[in-house]
Amino acid sequence: MKIISFHKDMPFHEILAELKGKVVGKTEKLPWRCFHDLSCMCVNQNVYERHQKYFSQYQVTVEDNVTVSVHAQTEGEDEIPWGVKYVGAQRLWKKGRGAGVKIAVIDTGISRQHFDLRQQIRGGVDLVRGKQNGHGTHVAGIIVAELNHKGIVGVSPEAHLYDVRAFSEDGKSSLSTILRAIDWSVENQMDIINMSFGMPQYSEALARAVDRANDRGITMVASAGNNGGEVEYPARYNSVVGVSAIDQKGKLASFSARGAGANAKAPGVDILSTWPGNQFKKLNGTSMAAPHVTGLMALELSRKRKTVESVTYP
């Protein structure tokens, strides 16, 4: 598959209509997917090869449907995990616990039966199907694990979580699936998107997707990466908050990406959180750092809304 980005001033709908007329042996299902607001399309390899000259006349940006990976590394009850304490969530709860804030977690899927999560998950979409792994469940617990006097508690325990599953059991996804996940989040009016994943190379299509979400007022938080070097994408985009990982002493973890694009640091070593089967597990990674910041963003947004609602007029 190829991902093709046209210049934003191009008549995208007219281009699509012309291309449709050129495709031989049309079926009910077109061999491409379009993101109209981005002027991007994901095209089957054979269609791209057959009409490469047609695409090239528009000076398009062409990308491979690269693999994107979650940022986690492993080990394994503390009512309040050290990371939640470290970011000062308890103090902030006096002004609210994130009630009503809509958070999309683009990840490997979330265990909706977990007793610490089932009340917080309000919806979502499954873009890949098949078996899950525990990465998304772990990320979810850091953000919203319920304050129920058992298990653990997350940073923003009253926020509303949306399970946007874009990664398969092996923690891999494709760029086109990530574009669909962000598109779903925009169309369903999320307030925050947590992206605990990344890839080393720049993508024009992904840049447009995060810019579109930013233009809609969505806050995006992403893990910086576990390569110990440069920050990966999408964390590196200007409209995304990139998060590096620190340990309990506040020191940058050796595995954490750092530098340009790392706008924040948060706990990412020995992080206890929810795991499938009503279990709990410790993980390391910038994947664990990002949801701490996502939770803080939810607390801040909830507080601002509460302040606005409490204003009275003469």
Residues designated as active site: 107, 135, 287
For 65-94, give one letter per residue: b (16+ CB within 10 A) or e. Answer: bbebbbbbbeeeeeebbebbeebebeebbe
